[in-house]
Structures are given as C-alpha cells and as structure tokens.
Chain A
C-alpha cells in the first residue's frame, strides 16, 4: 500500500467518523439545552409513569426488513458497474443482466406473496 493510498484511507476514516458522529450527536450539540428537572425529563406516556425503557429490543420482524434491504442493496451493487460499462458491453451482458433483474423481481414477488412485506 502506497503512502498516498494510506493517507487517503486515513482521511476517509476520519471523515466517516466525523460525519457519523455529527449526525448522531447533532441534536445534543446544536439543539436547545434542556433544563434538568427530574420527572419532567421522563418520556410522556399519557400522564402515567413510563412502563418500560424506551430502548427496547427490536423484534425479529424488523430484522427481516433489514435482510430484504441488504438483498436489494447488493443487487444495486451489481447493477451500477454494469450500467456504467453499458456502452462497451455486448448483447450477452444485456441478456445476463436482464435475467438477473428478472430473478430479483421474481424473488420480490415471492416475498410479497408470502407476506414477508407485511408490517405486523
């Protein structure tokens, strides 16, 4: 790895850390400062004391959407290089990518039909 590449990597890492840190903490940093006053800080649940922590575990249903998202996200990772190289590719590549997209579409239809997209 050349020093330039290493430097670029470090810059990238720092930038990623800074931007995500900014997003995660922007509210705390720039928002109006709250005045700490005991019970008033608690989440409001119709005047009742909160029943449980706000930081609950996610159900596995949410996980299913995450997996589905990853599937279609990875498909995009295949589509983009293909689209960029499209002028130089022949008919075979066109057919291959069409078949690939059709398979993905079929799987989407399958998930839909099997009720994997229901918000329950």
Chain B
C-alpha cells in the first residue's frame, strides 16, 4: 500500500470539488456527499498503512501515520456541516490535504510546502464559510493571513540558516553551532506561531471569534494537531537541549494566560477561543516533556491521546454554538429548560474540557501532566494544573448559567439537526474516552513498536 494513498484520495477530492465548480449548476447534495465521503475514504485507506521505508521527501513513521489519523478524524465534523458550496469544499479538502502531507513530510522543504498548503485555504475558509456579517470574517482572515505569512517567513529564514550550517534539510545528529541553533529556534517560533503559544497568540482569539463556529472548531482541532506535530518534527531535527527547558515554560504560561483571559469573556466563541489557547499551552508543555524525556514514545502517545480527545471536545463545544444559536453568556441563561438534551451534551463537553474525572478530558490532562512530572518539569506542571483549576471558573460558570439561572429574553434561534447530532456524538465520545485507560491499556506500547 502506497504511503501516500490517503493524500491521493484527498487530492482527488480537491479536483472533484473544483470539477463540480466548473459545471454550470453544481448540485449542493453532490458537493456535500463529496465533502464528507473523501475524508472518510482517506480514513479507511489509513487503516491499511504501515510504517514504511522513508523516501527523500516523505517519512511514513508511526508518528506521522497516527497524527494524520487524528487530523482527518478531527476534520469530520466540519466536513459534515459545510454547506454544499464547491469552493468551500475544495478549500476544506485542500487544507486537509496540506495537513496530512505535513504529517508525513520528512524534509524541511516538503514541510514548508505543506505548511502553506494547509494555511492558505484556511484563511479563505475563515473569510468565506458561514452566515452573517462578512466584514468581520474578512478582517479576521486578513489578520490570520498576516500572522501565517509571518510564521512562514520565520520558518523560511530558519530553514535557510539551518541549511547553511548543516547542509541538510532533514534530521542531523551533529551538534549545531550558533547559526544552526538560531535557525532551529526560528523554525520552532514558526511552529509556536501556528499553535498560538504566548506571546505569539494575538491573532488567535480574533480569528476564532470571527470565523463561523464549525470552522473555528476545525482550526482549533485539526489545524492545531498539525501544528503540534510540526513543532515536534522541527524540535527533533537536531539535538538542542534548550527546547526541553523552554517549551514547558512557554506551555505553562500560555495555559495560565489563556485561562485568565477566558474568565472575563462574555461572548462564548471568544471564551472558547481563549480556552483553546489554554489547551494549546498544555500541548506545548507536552511537547517540551517529550523533548526532555529524549523523545519518549509514551510522551508522544499521551500528546496524541490529548489531541484525539480535544478534537471531540473542542469541535463539540464550538458546534454547540451553531446548533443552539447561543452567542453570549446571557443567551445561555436557563438553556437547560429550553433544550434539555443539547444543554446536557454541552455540560458534558464543558466538564470534559475542564478535566473533571469521568471524562476523556481528565485522562488526557492527567497523562500530559504525568509526562511533565516524569520530565522533571515540576513547576510548569504545577502552573498548568493551576490553570486547569482557574478554567473551572468559566467552564462551570457556563454550566451554572445553563442550569441554575432563569431563562430571560427570547429563545435563541436553533440550528440544523446535523449540528445537534454532531454535538451529541462528540459528548458521547468524550465520556467513552474517559474509560480509555481500561481499553487502551497497552495500546501505546503496541503501536510504537
């Protein structure tokens, strides 16, 4: 089985979507079926992939294969919710293609290419997809574009310095001089930009707030997974001990700042954007721990698990906003009386995001913090735990709004039934993954062989 079969499926999907666009009047139903079918086919193709020989540009290692699985799975909710517009379908599939190429790229040039490939359609997706005022989305897309272009420039500069020093576009085990280290650090900065780590996070809340909720969910799950893998690949290029020290701190500070800023938000989508920032902090902490433990497979698999769980939680929480039409915390008051089922699903998702025990969010947080403690990064781990405590303030605050307040004002306009189904599925998944230690026992040991 060719290692690039899923990517080939996605590329074929992009062309099919564009081909439908050439037709005079493309049927919305056909476009919707295509948008959903192509990622599913890619997922099915991934089942048969095995870690295989590495080529010049492509490295199909366990990490890449697992990550592309999580990335494409995290994109499924958006695939199901996109309206049948051929351009948006092509943009979505193109972005996904870039992400899955990034997952298997084993060369810095290939990495840059796929970085741009996943980012450019995402900017347009932010600007195009969704209903309501287009001006805000356009502004956010431009902001996102400049942030992304800056990250790309950092990456290219770092790549040039790294290449000038080491004459290599891939992994090297030579100790790096100052020039090479500066290059590596610049490339890591580009990756942190993409993740949205403090202090490179300024674009993130605006973009996530202005984009339509399901696109924001896509950005905060699939895109973030790709960015985390990007950070891991870049920091693993050459031995550089400073990453193992710096990344946990950056992560812990990001988590703290994200949680603190989320406390004050009234608009739910902005609140979820800051919460996404807090989770990004935990992921960066996990990458740092992975580095400090000498790229330990167990640490990588706890990152993978976190991303898998977070894909459900974040997608579910963002799509709840679309399913319920709730925009501010005031709209949420007494929501449990109006829509008991949807409110219950949202409460479960919030509990999981906060990391309350019977849910997947708890296991994921626990694994990351455990790896951080193993990596001797005790103080960053404590700071991250404190940020999780702070985050209870707004997650449980939302639950209180929905359950213990009287409904006031007109009921928000509810969304379509697909969005409701997606929210319910994500909530069920969050609970099921809470039992993950029972059925995933030994899983990590097996897959990293």
Contacts and interface: CB of A to CB of B under 8 A. Distances in A.
A113 B19 CA distance: 10
Contacts of B18: 106-107, 110
A11 interface: no
Interface string B15-51: 1001101100000000000000000000000000000
A103 B18 CA distance: 11
Interface residues of A, number: 7
Nearest to B11: A103
B15 A114 contact: no
A106 B22 CA distance: 10
B54 to A, nearest CB: 20
A109 interface: yes
Contacts of A114: 21
Nearest to A107: B18
A113 B21 CA distance: 9
Interface string B163-175: 0000000000000
A106 B21 contact: no
A109 B15 CA distance: 12
A31 to B, nearest CB: 42
Nearest to B87: A114
Contacts of B21: 110, 113-114
Interface in B162-213: none
Nearest to A112: B22
A26 B19 CA distance: 48
A95 to B, nearest CB: 15
A88 to B, nearest CB: 20
A113 B18 CA distance: 11
Interface string A78-113: 000000000000000000000000010011011001
Interface in B63-89: none
A114 B22 CA distance: 7
Contacts of A109: 22
B89 to A, nearest CB: 14
A106 B15 CA distance: 9
B105 to A, nearest CB: 19
Contacts of A113: 21-22
A109 B21 CA distance: 11
A14 B15 CA distance: 45
A106 B21 CA distance: 12
B270 to A, nearest CB: 31
A64 to B, nearest CB: 15
Contacts of B19: 106
A15 B202 CA distance: 46
B45 to A, nearest CB: 20
A114 B18 CA distance: 10
Interface in A5-50: none
Nearest to B15: A106
A110 B19 CA distance: 8
A103 B19 CA distance: 11
Nearest to A109: B22
A107 B14 CA distance: 12
A107 B15 CA distance: 9
A104 to B, nearest CB: 12
Contacts of B15: 103, 106
A76 B18 CA distance: 23
A110 B15 CA distance: 10
B57 to A, nearest CB: 14
B164 to A, nearest CB: 13
Contacts of A103: 15
A114 B23 CA distance: 10
A119 B426 CA distance: 48
A102 to B, nearest CB: 10
A113 B15 CA distance: 15
A22 B19 CA distance: 47
A107 B19 CA distance: 9
Nearest to A103: B15
B197 to A, nearest CB: 32
B16 to A, nearest CB: 11
A114 B21 CA distance: 8
A114 B165 CA distance: 46
A109 B18 CA distance: 10
Contacts of A106: 15, 18-19
Nearest to B18: A110
A103 B11 CA distance: 11
Interchain residue pairs A-B with the least CB separation, the first 9 = A113-B22, A110-B18, A110-B22, A109-B22, A110-B21, A114-B21, A106-B15, A106-B18, A113-B21
12 contacts: A103-B15, A106-B15, A106-B18, A106-B19, A107-B18, A109-B22, A110-B18, A110-B21, A110-B22, A113-B21, A113-B22, A114-B21
Given A106-B19, A113-B21, 10 more contacts: A103-B15, A106-B15, A106-B18, A107-B18, A109-B22, A110-B18, A110-B21, A110-B22, A113-B22, A114-B21
